[in-house]
Amino acid sequence: MLGDIALSPEQNCKIPILSLDGICKSFGPVRALEDITFDVFPGRVHGLVGENGAGKSTLVKIITGLEQADAGRVLLSGEAVRFHTPIEARAHGIVAVYQDPKLFPHLSVAENIALGAYPTLPFGVINRKRMYGTAKVLLERLGSEVDPQALVAGLSVAEHQFVEIARALSSDVKILILDEPTSALTPAEAERLFRVVRTLRDHGTAVILITHRLEEIEAMSDDISVIRDRRHVATKDAKSVDRASLVQMMVGRPLETLFTRRDQPTFGKEVLRVENLSLTGVFDNVSFSVRAGEVVGMGGLVGAGRSEIAQTLFGITPPTSGRVWLNDHEIHPHNPRQMLDLGLAYLPEDRDRDGLIMPETITHNITLPILRRLSHWCFVDRSQERVLAEDASKSYRALTPTVEQIVSALSGGNRQKVAFAKWLATNPVTLILDEPTHGIDIGSKAQVHEMVAQLASRGLAVLLISSDLPELLAMSDRILVIAEGTLVTEFLKNDATQEKVMMAAAQQTRRVRR
């Protein structure tokens, strides 16, 4: 499926420096990219946009050789290439700068910039004078005042970014990929960065810019490619699109018919109430409540602080201030054990790292939070444990022959069902779901949606964090939007549209400098 590519006449006569032709990539049973095809031209900034998890980062990894495509070709100046490491890609002039640069903290700025290509004197002695000189020139080009002799450990995130870009410029860059370069920068720093990007572009470098901030895409891009649900939607000349049509392309229409909740849900009393919850430097003054039988959605961009709010409520990182009530009792979350006993369960976003113990069996995973309850005189009642696990596995339709199966051998969807079974075995009154359908196949996704709806109709209060907008809209009775650590707005089910939520999430409230 190739989108409607509109090329201006001046582009037509140019030769693309980088062409992606039908790139496909799967991680196990999960498709990450399907048939991505577009061209990048020298001397132009190519904006790459899409929702969280649309597949942008995977695409960058394939271009720079961190991952290998399953199918499709990467053409560099018309010639098919296949990089196996980022070093190979770099040798061909392709450099990526990530949002959290990986530098060596105990080396100086100049050493980091020159790393791997130190200027040398005879006998392999490093020419320190030239190394510092080059670093100084590169940093000056970026308009940065970072001292080349300073240790990287003492620099701010923004300065890290500049060092990383200076490092990129130290070799002959043909294609510069910037992945969310401004997420940690102040507006002034961002502007300085973009000035450098424009200079590079005018000297003929192709730039691929990935950012959530639509105003940056509008200000910087010459071409824009949209990726949605792992597929390439369109590549357009920036002059021919406005923000509204861009958002429309990004959210699109859901590809699969989503499970929708019943129209007339009945809500019980307020179960969870949060007032002015704050965690210094992460989120501020967040207040909301969830009633029994209600699904409250929480939308926002990655890094907006949604998971952190949920984890604070679950007692992982206690809040710096604010109050929390659960079933009319004020509580002070400081420990997951305490919260589970009080009836609040949290399905973590990173299922494989925090949600499940991968090398353990299904049974052991499901019963881990309730082992104490399954024990008499400290001894685990193993027959009761097995019955419980088998019942859970049946009712969540995890398709496994036995509950003695090791979890790491299951597909993403089945793993998620095991995680659900695990948290629901604790009989919670409030359930916080953090990206419950992230990285699972469409069939399991629908089952998860159905499960959430059933739980709500049984009277559970559900807080649903999701970056999948169609899902958020279909499942939620109310939607809270978090942007940069603040609750910016709240929509009722009938008022919310994908465009409205997206606009609210992408707005800049204030720039928190880390």
Partner 1 sequence: MSMRTRTAIPTWELVLCVLIVAAGVWSSKLSPYYLSIDQIFESTRHFIIPGLLALGLAMVVSTGEIDISLASIVAVGTVALSKLAAAGFSIYVAAPIVIVIGALCGTLNGVLVARYGLPSLAVTLGTMGAYRGLAFIVGSEVGYTDFDDSFLWIGSEKLFGDIVPISFCVFVTAAIGVWLLMHRTFFGRHCFSIGLNPDASWFAGVEVVKVKIRTYALAGALAGIAALVWVGQYGSARGDNADGSILFVVTAVVLGGMDINGGRGTISGVVLSLLLLGTIRNGMGLANFGGPTQTVVLGVLLVGGVLRPALAATLARLRRHTSDKQAGA
Contact set with partner 1 (CB under 8 A): 314, 316, 335-337, 339-341, 346, 348, 353-360, 364, 368-369, 371-372, 374-375, 378-380, 406, 408-409, 422, 426
Q: Could you tell me the smallest distance in angstroms from the CB atom of residue 329 to partner 1?
A: 19
Per the CB < 8 A criterion, the answer to whether 91 and 134 are in contact is: no
Residue with Cβ nearer partner 1 (149 or 408): 408
Contacts of 101 (CB under 8 A, 6+ apart): 160, 161, 163, 164
Nearest to 496 by CA among 506, 504, 488: 504
Residue with Cβ nearer partner 1 (262 or 353): 353
Q: Could you tell me the smallest distance in angstroms from the CB atom of residue 28 to partner 1?
A: 14
Per the CB < 8 A criterion, the answer to whether 412 and 444 are in contact is: yes
Rounded distance between C-alpha atoms, residue 164 and residue 170, angstroms: 10
Q: What is the 3-state secondary structure (H, E, C) of 482-495?
A: EECCEEEEEEECCC
Rounded distance between C-alpha atoms, residue 218 and residue 305, angstroms: 25
Residue with Cβ nearer partner 1 (317 or 395): 317
**166, HSE (Cβ side, Cα atoms, 13 Å):** 32
Q: Could you tell me the smallest distance in angstroms from the CB atom of residue 285 to partner 1?
A: 26
Strands 321-326 and 283-291: unpaired
Residue with Cβ nearer partner 1 (159 or 308): 308
Residue with Cβ nearer partner 1 (203 or 372): 372
Rounded distance between C-alpha atoms, residue 295 and residue 502, angstroms: 19
Rounded distance between C-alpha atoms, residue 201 and residue 234, angstroms: 22
Q: Could you tell me the smallest distance in angstroms from the CB atom of residue 264 to partner 1?
A: 35
Q: Could you tell me the smallest distance in angstroms from the CB atom of residue 95 to partner 1?
A: 33
Q: Could you tell me the smallest distance in angstroms from the CB atom of residue 428 to partner 1?
A: 11
Residue with Cβ nearer partner 1 (406 or 512): 406
Residue with Cβ nearer partner 1 (373 or 510): 373
Q: What is the 3-state secondary structure (H, E, C) of 36-88?
A: EEEEECCCCEEEEECCCCCCHHHHHHHHCCCCCCCEEEEEECCEEECCCCHHH
Residue with Cβ nearer partner 1 (92 or 334): 334
Residue with Cβ nearer partner 1 (211 or 430): 430
Per the CB < 8 A criterion, the answer to whether 90 and 170 are in contact is: no
Q: Could you tell me the smallest distance in angstroms from the CB atom of residue 426 to partner 1?
A: 8
Contacts of 58 (CB under 8 A, 6+ apart): 25, 32, 33, 67
DSSP alpha helix (H) spans, 154-242: 157-169, 187-202, 214-220
Q: Could you tell me the smallest distance in angstroms from the CB atom of residue 348 to partner 1?
A: 6
Residue with Cβ nearer partner 1 (178 or 345): 345
Q: What DSSP string runs through 325-347?
A: EETTEEE----HHHHHHHTEEEE
Q: Bin 43: left if φ > 0, else alpha if -120 < ψ < 50, else beta.
A: left
Q: What DSSP string runs through 138-158?
A: HHHHTT----TTSBGGG--HH
Residue with Cβ nearer partner 1 (13 or 378): 378
Q: What DSSP string runs through 290-309?
A: EETT-EEEEEE-TTSSHHHH
Q: Could you tell me the smallest distance in angstroms from the CB atom of residue 424 to partner 1?
A: 13
Q: Could you tell me the smallest distance in angstroms from the CB atom of residue 67 to partner 1?
A: 19
Nearest to 342 by CA among 321, 367, 324, 354: 324
User: Torsions phi, psi of 285, nearest 5?
Assistant: 45, 50
Which amino acid is residue 62, in one-letter code? I
Rounded distance between C-alpha atoms, residue 390 and residue 373, angstroms: 17
Q: Bin 428: left if φ > 0, else alpha if -120 < ψ < 50, else beta.
A: beta
Q: Could you tell me the smallest distance in angstroms from the CB atom of residue 406 to partner 1?
A: 4
Q: Could you tell me the smallest distance in angstroms from the CB atom of residue 192 to partner 1?
A: 38
User: Torsions phi, psi of 218, nearest 5?
Assistant: -65, -40
Residue with Cβ nearer partner 1 (266 or 335): 335
Q: Could you tell me the smallest distance in angstroms from the CB atom of residue 335 to partner 1?
A: 7
Residue with Cβ nearer partner 1 (123 or 379): 379
Angle in degrees, CA 204, 208, 209, rounded to 5? 120
